[in-house]
Structure 1
Amino acid sequence: MHARADGQGRPLGFVLTGGETSDYAAVPALLAIPVSKPRLFLADKGYDGDFVRQELLIHGIKPVIPPKANRKHPPSCDFQAYRDRNRIERMFNRLKQFRRIATRYDKTRKSFEAFLSLAAAKIWLPYFVNRT
């Protein structure tokens, strides 16, 4: 499961791939989610690859991805901006509070995506309710 989130750690969209699929294969699908264009792309080392970095720079998005340990010439990473990635991890933790998502009970992709959308709506709901 790959997700796109806003600056506050709220989910904007999801891309599901197989467990054996490489992380950076989901990047084009994440960028195709119809929401505003991001300024930064915060991701973990699984997304590190020259193709991903090139694709992001072509689209005008700054990649904030720490380099893998086996790189001969590691590109620089803005670790100050990378600290904000904890918001994305907290979003995944909030999603996994729903037992059905954490254990992947659903047999079909369609039903899993539907419940992911419901869980994302529940995360967004407090931001639309008047807190007076």
Structure 2
Amino acid sequence: MIIDLVAGRGELTEAAWERIEPLLPRADGRGRPWRDHRQVVNGVLWRLRTGAPWRDLPERYGPWQTVYERFACWEADGTWAKLLEHVQVHDDAVGRVEWTVAVDSTVNRAHQHVTGARKKGPQTGTNWKIRAARRRAKPPAGPRRVHLAVDGRGLPLSIVLTPGNVDDATAFGQVLDGIRIPRAGTGRPRRTPTRVPGHKAYSSRAIRHLLRRRGIAVTIPERRDQAANRRRRGRLGGRPPAFDEEVYRERNVVERCFARLKQFRAIATRFDKLADRYRAGVDLASLIFWLREPSS
């Protein structure tokens, strides 16, 4: 059967493929030859975009078992995360990453079929990487909240998944710590934004102190109850925190990023039983955003 690899809707373009192809794992020469990586990645993207069951994968992408197993193996060995890190490193090296970093979160509900994932006990399957991933994977906990930190262009720098009942302020430190872009040459990874705009949910003394201690400018509006309490205390309440409305408008890049992510139906609704599989899908969608960004 002749496979047509001309990029279809939502598939890898020639330019995107040229960037990631050298970074993909190579066959070790043992066993059966691997099915073409580009065909398989396009199959994963089709499923991510449509949210369809793996078994409904079109024949042009090859056997669904092959596509799923490679998706699972590359989640287990960190390939998807490494690809995302690679494009981030490249853009930072040429000065394209904008370090005004906006933060926010969204809740994506889980489909009823995600219940029933194993926590412990014997696992079935022939691939040791998939079995190992299942042993360490987190079980589903109802809705999943996705926390993002995005650069000034709206491209994800940090991705954190929590249960739906974890609020923004609680996860903020973890999201901030997740920003880590290694240097293309020598030196420590880049971890510190120049400024962080966030909405009122992040207005807390602990968060403001954390950002000031790291030398990061803060653009977070004060909540009404905090402002009223400060005024009630008079001089002891101190001055209101500095706030720049023009800079705050730049926060909408993170909301636009969530809107783009939810165009992938397997992200807008969680169909994966294992949280690590769902996280791999978010990583892959984020990688596509970085690859689509114009080079100039």
Normalising to structure 1: TM-score of the pair?
0.89
Match of 1:31 among 176, 190, 203: 176
Alpha carbon RMSD of aligned pairs, Å? 1.7
* Structure 1 residues not aligned, in runs of 5+: none
Please point out which of 187, 191, 200 is paired with 1:45. Answer: 200
**2:280 & 2:223 partners in 1: Cα distance?**
34
Alignment of 1:95 with 2:240, yes or no, is no
Cα shift at 1:38: 0.4
Please give the alpha-carbon distance, in whole angstroms, between the structure 2 residues aligned to 1:49 and 1:108. Answer: 33
For structure 2, the 5+ residue unaligned runs are 1-145, 182-189, 231-239
- Within a 5 Å distance, the mapping from 1:1-132 to structure 2 comes to 1-33=146-178, 34-35=180-181, 36=190, 37-71=192-226, 72-73=229-230, 74-127=240-293
Q: Aligned residues, how many?
A: 130
Query: Residue type of the partner of 1:12?
Result: L
- 4+ residue runs over 6 A deviation: none
Which structure would you say has the larger Rg?
2
Deviation at 1:107, TM superposition (A): 2.2
Q: Judge conservation of contact 2:158–2:176 (CA < 8 Å) in 1.
A: no
With 96-105 and 49-58 compared, the bigger mean Cα shift is at 96-105
Give the alignment's TM-score, normalised by structure 2. Answer: 0.42
SS at match of 1:67: coil
Which secondary structure does the structure 2 equivalent of 1:60 belong to? coil
In structure 1, how many angstroms separate the alpha carbons of the residues matched to 2:255 and 2:149? 11
> Residue 243 of structure 2 aligns to which amino acid in structure 1?
C
Query: Aligned partners of 1:110, 1:46: CA distance in 2, in Å?
Result: 27
